[in-house]
Amino acid sequence: MKKTIILMAISLFMLSGINAQTKQLTIKKGTNLSTIDGKGDDEQWQDVDPVAIDTPFGNENASVKAWFKMYYTDDYLYVYVDVTDDVHIPVWVGKADNEKVKDVHQFYDKVEIYFDVNDNLKDGNGPAYIGTEGGGGTIAPGHYQFAPWFEEDGYDSPFLMSGLLFGSMSDQAMVCYSLREDYSGYGVEFELPLKKFLNDKGEYLSKEAFENLPQGLGFDVTVVDNDADDLGRKRVVWCSSEQEAYYNMDGCGIVRFGQSSGIENLKTDTGHAKTGICYNLLGMRVDRNKKGIIICDGKKIINK
């Protein structure tokens, strides 16, 4: 009996190793945007492929459809997140009169993006304080969160982000959010200066340093959805679906700087066999025979 249990445990471990995959995105180099307006319709964005944000966080069932785009220049890292949401409940609409925005904004509609610029991406940390989820200690170096909440008079108004959790990015990172004209959703656009990212060695990164990160740039996106339906917060993410990136970024995706873009499926460090799982260029799982360009086990396939 004991031997059977051990064998079952080993089998489950091997299966989890085979199924556990890390998404990778290779981003293109472009030119600086002239304005940050939250719309994502500038010419520079037209040649950047959208990447789906469609993985439920845990058992949460968000009702949004979302995707992001990303590219870099000599000076900045640009991220645009597009969210289709027919019920927009930002914190300024949903919070009770006796609640403070700083205490409850994370439970209402918003976009959160996360970065890990350290050489080692598996250190068990995120941009929150090191230690338990209750906080305490010091901020984990090299990890960043940008998670602006909506303000009633803040739409279409670019602003510099500030706050202790943003470390060296305080008053450096530009962001703007904008509602669609038909109120069917919103966009959030970020302009992040490359040379203001600081790693756990106390080094500010250059463009060349980003291009040569040994494990790539740790990255994830979380879209928070609140429909005022008494079900509270529901989230979709790009990658980290079992642990909040705020506390632990080990489950996040990887971004590499290059001349091409697209989603790849990376094998885990366990060295197990190929999974046969395929993705389209939006990062969604597809059948291996689906027509068009798909990515299977890290290789690009063109099905006609």
Contacts of residue 269, defined as CB under 8 A and 6 or more positions apart, other chains included, come to none
Separation CA 142–CA 127 (nearest Å): 8
Separation CA 23–CA 4 (nearest Å): 34
As a whole number of Å, the CA-based R_g of the chain is: 20
pTM summary value: 0.79
pLDDT at 158 over 80: yes
Q: Token pair of 79, please?
A: 């991220």
Residue range 118-130, pLDDT digits in tens: 999 999 999 886 6
Please answer whether residues 244 and 224 qualify as being in contact, where contact means their C-beta atoms are separated by less than 8 angstroms.
no
Q: Quick one: which of 71, 115, 82, 66 has its CA closest to 260?
A: 71
Please tell me what DSSP assigns to residue 121.
Answer: S
Domains annotated on the chain, with CATH: 23-258 (2.60.40.1190), 265-304 (no CATH)
Residue range 89-138, pLDDT digits in tens: 999 999 999 999 999 999 999 999 999 999 999 999 998 866 555 555 67
Contacts of residue 99, defined as CB under 8 A and 6 or more positions apart, other chains included, come to none
Single-letter amino acid, residue 226: N
Separation CA 124–CA 116 (nearest Å): 11
